[in-house]
Amino acid sequence: MTTNTNHQETPAPEAVRVAVVTGGSRGIGRAVSEKLAQDGLAVVVNYAHDEASAKETVAAITEAGGRAVAVQADVAEETEIAALFDRAEEEYGGIDVVVNSAGRMTLSPIADLDLTALDAMHRTNIRGTFVVAREAARRLRAGGSFVGFSTSVVGTQFPTYGAYAASKGAVEAMTLILARELRGRDITVNTVAPGPTATDLFLSGKTPEQIDQLAKTPPLERLGTPEDIAAVVAFLGSPAGHWVNGQILRANGGMI
């Protein structure tokens, strides 16, 4: 009796990569969530208040064949962010990409700035970034990536953006520092700084004339789209973008 030794074992399924996207239910965050899901990642869509939009984002991902779950958390609350990361690990087994797209923007001349608005904006944009980045630094698996968000206004320095640009300047300042602190972990840290992008956050409070003027500022003579920014984020979070580390990428169509 002979034994057939030419059989092939079924290969083990490839482990799914997992992303946590804060502010992932609307605007650029939603585009990032959907793009990462299209690229095969399971996505934890974080939201602060708008549960309906988060559910819509998850539905769009799952209807397209992707995997996603919505989880509420305030990025500035460390216990809530720890619970968010716990849920990601419980649901999908680990975390490979963290994108902190949650943000707040208030525009005002510095002389007229409401300090209550300043405190609220800095709580989300500075404290929130540090809370999420700290948890990412503790939990990301080898080969993982953290992507933060700044703004090209840090470079263009338009009037009325002083407080907002200051809050995002803090994000830029910590980017290379965190990348260096994660030496030996095979984890990248980068920040994307969009230019004028057609989102509700950007368009709110602007006249059609202001929007048209801003659209003509880049050499490409248009506003960016959430999908433009999502493609940059997806690259940074992918194996193809893993040699980019500690950088600020100004995704703005050619502005300063």
Residues with a catalytic annotation lie at 164
The one-letter amino acid at 63: E
Q: Residue 55's CB: how many other CB atoms inside 10 A?
A: 14
Report the C-alpha gap between 214 and 218 in whole angstroms.
8
What's the Cα-to-Cα distance from 52 to each of 19, 21, 49, 75, 237, rounded to whole Å? 20, 16, 9, 18, 27
8 A C-beta contact, residue 229 and residue 192: yes
Structure tokens at 150: 């700044």
